[in-house]
Amino acid sequence: MWFNLLAMKHKFNNVSLVGKFQSADGTETVLELARFLRERGIEPWIEQGTAGDIGKAVDGFVTATYEEVADKADLVVVVGGDGTLLGAARRLGERAVPLVGVNLGRLGFLTDLSRVNACQKLGEILDGHYQAESRVMLDAEVMRDGSRIFHTLALNDVVVNRGELGRMIELELTVDDVFVYHLRSDGMIVATPTGSTAYALAANGPILHPGVGGVALVPLCPHALTARPITLPDSCRIEIVLMPPHDARIHFDGVTYCDIRAGDLLRIVRSSLEVRLLHPEGYGYFAMLREKLHWGAAVLRP
């Protein structure tokens, strides 16, 4: 079942706030939520980097490092866009701290609380009126000459691209030790269902419902037009080798990257860790898609 409607709602004693850096709207919203939580009898923690960005206005509130938040928080409220939530999810993933997103961005596929009613909806969540779900993550490592040189997690996607080159790169794709093909292209996106509505969607990849146990492989501008997106079971082990002579770069959720050279191997499997998201009651995945992708919008006629 995609949604995990908890039989016993969790009591949130420690709530932490994470905000988008260098954002006036984010600063105002974080402080508004902090005051609201205090009125509810909850002394909020404000993540250290967020507090430093806000400045003296946070005086009187507790500040905490990400490590302290991960160790103690029952709930983390992320104020910003999907990118802000992705960054928080990656840093808190090992502790599976529940996340609630307040959208200040343009789309907000993950941050579904509006800034306008954020306090009201957060209050409802604190009262136990919410829907909880888990989103899968990818575990990615880069191998060079048999040794690991990079390792990280990704909630959205892992993207191999040509970096600063002005020409195509060549990749060898293997799935569960079975050779699939050599691909000449600008790169490859490996996306979770969460990431299927991000970069992969812009590259004509499929939209994967979060309840689907799949991973989308989406070639970027392939030389052979028959190289089409494909969805694999998320139990697969995906390996991509960069072929000579060019170097390339791998991006993970658009947050961090690793420069690679010919012969390096990227190995991707489903992580044992998951990200827990809380939505207000009444949240619907298809309603969200209709809103964000403007499905069913009236056609303008001359």
pLDDT single digits (tens) 165-214? 778 999 999 999 999 999 999 999 999 999 999 999 999 999 999 999 99
List 25, 53, 82, 264, catalytic entry: 82
Contact by Cβ (8 Å): 110, 194: yes
pTM above 0.85, yes or no: yes
Half-sphere exposure of residue 143: CA atoms within 13 angstroms, side-chain side: 10
Residue 276 has pLDDT above 70, yes or no: yes
- 236 burial level (CB within 10 Å; 0-12, 13-18, 19+): middle
Q: Where in the chain is the domain with CATH 3.40.50.10330?
A: 3-129+281-293
**pLDDT band at residue 5 under the 50/70/90 scheme:** very low
82 labelled catalytic: yes
Span of 1-10, 40-49, 233-242 with lowest mean pLDDT:
1-10
What's the pLDDT at 168? 93
Backbone angles phi, psi at 96, to 5 degrees: 50, 45
Query: What is the CATH number assigned to the segment(s) 137-272?
Result: 2.60.200.30
| Higher-scoring residue by pLDDT: 163, 120 | 120
Q: What is the pLDDT of residues 43-83, one digit of tens each?
A: 999 999 999 988 887 888 999 999 999 999 999 999 999 99
Q: What value does the mean pLDDT take over residues 136-163?
A: 96
On average, the pLDDT of the chain sits at 91
Which tokens go with 225? 């037009």
Q: Where in the chain is the domain with CATH 2.60.200.30?
A: 137-272
What's the pLDDT at 7? 37
Cis peptide before 233 (omega within 30 of 0): no
What's the pLDDT at 140? 98
Contact by Cβ (8 Å): 196, 207: yes
Annotation: CATH topology of 3-129+281-293: Rossmann fold (3.40.50)
